[in-house]
Each structure stands twice: as structure tokens, then as C-alpha cells.
Structure 1
Amino acid sequence: MATVGLSTTLFERGQICGGCFELRCVDDLRWCHQGTSIIVTATNFCPPNYGLEGDGGGGHCNPPNKHFVLPIDAFEKIAFWKASNMNVHYRRIKCVREGGVRFIIDGSGYFISVLISNVAGAGDVLAVKIKGSRTGWLPMGRNWGQTWHVSADLKNQPLSFEVTTSDGVTVTSYNVAPKNWSFGQSFVGKQFQS
């Protein structure tokens, strides 16, 4: 599955990161591969360039355009590479993932940052809570995309996570990180149904 960058209008200030889309090239029999589609995961931001016109002038990521920036190998599955920019039909779909939700813990001292990835179902995360063995559930704030943070002393405690996706489904993973966890480590928790 390919990753894709989204224009401002689609990116939703990073909340959409992890969401999955099906794309199909349309309206051009000369350049589109008819009857084919690709599945992509939103992971990147395509920043606007207000110095360029949005209609055919290179400012494809300028609001209000809905634009997907695809890697060439993914683009070539739905259109010939010489086509450059093509109109696509897209739809949001459930994400199918293997393995559990991944938590990469980073930070320093009392600042904990957690990158959450490999989320099935809706794919994008709406809310996260973290819990140490000596604390209650602490809500985390969105830093950017699917990186969440909290300021708390959670050292030397096993960590649990409560993750809620944009469709309102919540999965709780208890004791994902052991008592001796350290910054820079990655852990795997329960998975959402796809």
C-alpha cells in the first residue's frame, strides 16, 4: 500500500493521517488505466504555494483544491506517468492492517511523545489517553498528525493506551510498554477491527 501526501483541504491539520483512500483515474481515456484503482494511506502534507495559480499553474495543493501527491510507482498503477496531474475519483475506506497498533515512545524527562501507527478500521486517531501503573488515565494532546504528547512522570511504570479513532471506536491496550521502557522504543498493542 502506498503512502500519499494530501492538500490542505484534505489534510485536516493532520487528523487524517493514517486514513485510507481508494483512488481511480477518471475522465481521460488517453492517460488513465481504465478499471484500476489503488489503495493509499494518508501520511504526508502537501503545503500550499500561494505564489502559483491553483488551476493548472502548479499550486495544486492550494485551497480549495483536493489533491493527492502520489509516489510514481503508485501513480503508474492508475495512469501513464507522462500524464502528470490527473483527475481522480476518491473515497474513504476502512484500513486493513497486519499486526497490532504501534506505539513509538519518544521525549525526555517528563515530556512523553507517542507516534501511533498501523491503525486498522478508520485508520486516523481522534483521541489518545495514556496510563501508568501509578496514575489514572491522562488525556494526550495532538502534536502533529498522529504524534501525541503529555507532560507527566511515567518513568518506571508499565504504560497502557486508550486509542479512539474518528469513527468513535475505542481500543484499550493494557501494559503495552513494560516497567523498564525507555525513550526511542516501539511497542505493539491491540488492533481495531477492519
Structure 2
Amino acid sequence: MSARWLVVLAVLEACVRACSAQWLPATATFYGGKDGSGTMGGACGYGNLYDAGYGINNAALSSVLFDDGASCGQCYTITCDASKSAYCKPGNAITVSATNDSGWCNPPRPHFDMSQPAWEHIGIYQGGIIPVQYQRVKCSRTGGVRFVINGCNYFELVNIQNLSGSGSVGAAWIKGTNTGWIQMSRNWGANWQSNAALVGQGLSFAITSTGGQYIQFLDVAPAWWQFGQTFTTNQNFDY
């Protein structure tokens, strides 16, 4: 096959992917103040969203979207539906990261409670609540995956942050210097736990993203690690 036809096929494939992307209806409000400071923390457990890699473009998701924390870190592009509201800024879209559970609306209603700066990119302040359309999209992050280690002597609670690609954790494992791989379970939000006595051992982690990519993060924490510390890697996800 000629190079020309390969290019044509690649363009057609890209068009098919773009056209097959589905926009879904939802509603959106805002919280956290004009500087977004009130969005820090949240039900994913990320704490300071700048330190965790998410910044100001974030949103709390309604229960059906939050999925008990399984959606923590995922990215969504949102645009105001100007066909349904005069409070839209037509042609504008914003990509936000899921960092909190809004507790707003009864399931199964999809809703985004966005940081005020992100919301005002697509909506007019006086609107309060606006109809939107959204897509889940690939996340782009700066730097590698981060691990925040909390817990106690026989219990590790690890907040896993800053995933690119699908943005969220599907499965996680931990390994001490003197152990094999130990499967972790989701405790809450983006916090994953293991019931193992790993104090005094160097730690490695492995993650399968919700996109299906598996990465081992070896020798992340030295044997002298302490609870409350954050360790940053130079690896991240493509999908």
C-alpha cells in the first residue's frame, strides 16, 4: 500500500474516532469561590489540588458519575448547551478533573459542581445552574504519578495522584523489600489500603489504570519512609 493511502486511512480513522465521541447531557453549578480555594480537599482525598497535580479546573461529580470514588482523577470536557439556556458562553469548552463528590442531585442524574473559575469559562454567573454537554477525555498531567503514604504500623493508606491517560486507578499493588506483590483495595476516594507490616521496608507500587495500562513503580519509597510523606515518580500513563 502506498504512503499516500496510508495517510488517507489514518485521517479516516481519526475522523471516525472523533465522530464517534459521544456528547452526553448533564447540568452544572459552581462552588468554592472566585479563586476556587473552597474546592481544595474533597472526597478523593487529594488535599491541596495544586500539589496533587489537578489545579483549579476541577469538579465535584454527582453520585452516578462519582461511582464511589472510582472516577477520582478522570477528565471531562464540558460545554454549555446554548440551545437550552441564555446563560451560556457559546463556543467555549473547559476540561476539568474529578476531585470531589458533590452530593448534589438524586441519582441517576449526571451533574458537575465545578470550581467557579472553570464554570465561568462556559457560563454566565447569574445563571447559577446551566444545562451542559460533556465527554470523558484523556487526561494530560505534568510529571509522574505521586504516592502519599498514610496509615499506621500494620496499615498503609496510599493516596494515588496525578495519573495521566484515563486518569483513574483500576487496581493497585504494594511491595515491600521483603515481600511479594500485595493487592490493595480501595478504601475511599483515591485512597488504597493494604493490611501489611511494611514499616522499615522500601516500597514499590504497581497500578492498572482504568484504561487497562499496567505500570510497575519500583523503589518509590526508601526504607526510612514515614507516614505522611509524598513520593513522586517519573512514570505516567498513556491510557
Please confirm whether the aligned pair reaches a TM-score higher than 0.5, indicating the same fold. Answer: yes
Superposed CA RMSD in Å reads: 1.1
1:45-94: CA deviation from partner (whole Å, max 9, x where unpaired): 0115xxxxxxxxxxxx2112100001211111001010111111100001
Give the alignment of 1:161-176 within 5 angstroms.
161-176=205-220
The residue aligned with 1:37 is 93
Q: Secondary structure at the match of 2:179?
A: coil
Alpha-carbon distance between aligned partners in 1 of 2:94 and 2:79, rounded to the nearest angstrom: 7
Does structure 1 residue 191 correspond to structure 2 residue 236? yes
Give the alignment of 1:44-55 within 5 angstroms.
44-48=100-104
Amino acid across the alignment from 1:100: G
Identity of aligned residues (%): 42
Q: Which runs of 5+ in 1 are unaligned?
A: 49-60
Question: Aligned match of 2:110 in 32, 49, 66?
Answer: 66
The residue aligned with 1:24 is 79
The residue aligned with 2:67 is 12
Alpha-carbon distance between aligned partners in 2 of 1:96 and 1:152, rounded to the nearest angstrom: 33
Give the alignment of 1:1-194 within 5 angstroms.
1-26=56-81, 27-28=83-84, 30-48=86-104, 61-189=105-233, 190-193=235-238
Q: Secondary structure at the match of 2:147?
A: strand
Alpha-carbon distance between aligned partners in 1 of 2:238 and 2:66, rounded to the nearest angstrom: 24
Alpha-carbon distance between aligned partners in 2 of 1:88 and 1:174, rounded to the nearest angstrom: 42
Alpha-carbon distance between aligned partners in 1 of 2:189 and 2:209, rounded to the nearest angstrom: 13
What is the CA distance between 1:28 and its match in structure 2?
3.9
Could you state the TM-score of these two structures normalised by the residue count of structure 1?
A: 0.91
Aligned residue pairs total 182
Q: Secondary structure at the match of 2:134?
A: strand
Following TM superposition, the consecutive aligned residue runs of length 4 or more in structure 1 with deviations greater than 4 angstroms are: none
Could you state the TM-score of these two structures normalised by the residue count of structure 2?
A: 0.74
Higher helix share: 2
